[in-house]
Structures are given as C-alpha cells and as structure tokens.
C-alpha cells in the first residue's frame, strides 16, 4: 500500500516496491558523472542546471566517491561543469549566478 511522505515541502507517494524519486538536479548531476556529454541529448542542459538549486551534499558525495581512474573517464564533463559555472557568472539572471557560485565550493 502506498504511503504519503512529506520531504522538502513536497508530497510524494512511496511504496516498498518503488525507488524514491530523485530531484531533477540530482538526475542532471548523474548525467555529468557519465562518459557521455550531458548536453548531447539536451542542448539546454547547462542553462537548466544553473536554474536549479544546488545540492552540494550530493555533488560532493559523487566527487569524493570517484577514484583517479573514474575521474579521468569523466574529466571532460567535469571540466565542462566548471567552464559553464564561469560562463554563468556573467549572466544577468541572478539565480544562475548564485547557483554557479555554489557549485565549486
């Protein structure tokens, strides 16, 4: 039987047989941690990413869990992340600027 959970101000239905939902920003971070360019299937990937509230705990955990070999496999995506952070700092949209500032902390 499904139960209703309140998490982060959102109501979510859960059941023992289903995985909990992930935030969209977390799903986007997961795309960065693959070997494929995350903007390949979504040209607006980076613009959308910086409109979402940063989940530093998740991002730091993903980075800390990588060993050197894994990091080398995704270095292009990590470099793109920081390159797009720098580009977002020049934007007029204040949310993008604030979120871009929080990523490299």
Query: Of 13 and 104, which is predicted with more confidence?
Result: 104
Average pLDDT over residues 71-81: 95
Average pLDDT over residues 60-85: 94
Cβ atoms 103, 91 nearer than 8 A: no
Which pLDDT value is given to residue 12?
Answer: 57
pLDDT tier, 60 (very low <50, low <70, confident <90, very high otherwise): very high
- Residue 83 and residue 76: Cα distance in Å, rounded? 10
Which pLDDT value is given to residue 10?
Answer: 56
Helix (H) or strand (E) holding 49: helix 45-49
Which pLDDT value is given to residue 1?
Answer: 46
């Amino acid at each position: 039987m499904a139960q209703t959970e309140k998490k982060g101000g959102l109501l979510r239905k859960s059941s023992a047989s289903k995985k909990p939902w992930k935030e969209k920003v977390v799903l986007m971070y997961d795309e960065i941690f693959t070997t494929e360019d995350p903007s390949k299937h979504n040209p607006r990937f980076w613009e959308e990413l910086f409109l979402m509230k940063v989940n530093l705990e998740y991002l730091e955990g993903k980075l800390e869990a990588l060993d050197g070999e894994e990091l080398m496999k995704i270095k292009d995506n990590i470099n793109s992340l920081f390159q797009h952070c720098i580009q977002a700092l020049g934007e007029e949209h204040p949310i993008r600027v604030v979120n871009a500032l929080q990523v490299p902390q």
